Structure 1
Amino acid sequence: MQVLKMLRSFQHAIRGLGFLMEENNSKFHLLATLIVLLIGFYVKLSGNEWTIVIIQIGLVFTAEAFNTAIEKLCDFVSPEHQTLIGKVKDLAAAAVLIVSVVAVIVGIIIILPKILSI
């Protein structure tokens, strides 16, 4: 019985990933991820470098998922414009921006020297 419950949880999570990939920002993050992965293979990242890059990718998608969930909840709770709801949505978007900027900086630190040495 527990196994079936767990499998249902995975179904919900996979459905959530589908919802996430419907978002324009997630599509942009997916494109950026594919580019970074291709460059990573091209410059032959080490195991440690791959670990750091993959963690950054995971953090960006996680932040985007939370941001999307918060936005959807805010839109449901308050369909009309409210200043406080706007601040909540802006804060959630800021979290994605922070994680994304850090990911870009980490990517530059790891990948740029390899590209320059080619």
Structure 2
Amino acid sequence: MTGRLAARARSFRYAARGIAAMVASEPNARIHALATIAVVAAGVALGIDRGDWIAIALAIALVWTAEAINTAFEALCDVASPARDPRVARAKDVAAGAVLLSALGAASVGVLVFAPRLAALAAAFAAAR
């Protein structure tokens, strides 16, 4: 059993190393990290409910997963085709588009979750003045 546990622990270390490499090498991953922190902080500050946390968590996971797949795909493309090839460029563009689509979906979730709360806060602030 210890061999299996050690293998699982190694798998998690490799995954963590991959995530760290992605954040270190990809500017968009750092933007996603800042957005993740901001959204979680807003969720805590605004006291969102369990269902909203589920939606937010899934949206965050989707964006990070898309970014990780895109980063891995681009790295493999660069190794497989070091010279510029329009077919490879197109494939990389499509992968980057998947990240954009996931980010737009996550932004939509953010609007649906946070807009009503922010509007209520703005109304309460205006009424208090």
- TM-score, normalization: structure 2? 0.89
The amino acid across from 1:19 in the alignment is A
Aligned to 1:117, the other structure's residue is in SS state: helix
Kindly provide the CA deviation profile for residues 48-99 of structure 1, in whole angstroms up to 9, marking residues without a partner as x: 1011101100110000000000000001111110011001100100100000
Q: Which structure has the greater CA radius of gyration?
A: 2
1:37 CA displacement:
1.1
1:6 CA displacement:
1.1
For 1:11 and 1:110, the matched residues in 2 are separated by 34
Question: Which ranges in structure 2 are unaligned for 5 or more consecutive residues?
Answer: 122-129
Q: Equivalent residue for 1:110?
A: 113
Q: Equivalent residue for 2:124?
A: none
Question: Which ranges in structure 1 are unaligned for 5 or more consecutive residues?
Answer: none
Percent identity over paired residues: 36
Give yes or no for the alignment of 1:65 onto 2:88: no
Across the aligned residues of Structure 1 and Structure 2, the Cα RMSD in angstroms comes to: 0.7
Aligned length in residues: 118
Q: Which runs of 4+ in 1 moved over 6 A?
A: none
Q: Equivalent residue for 1:9?
A: 11
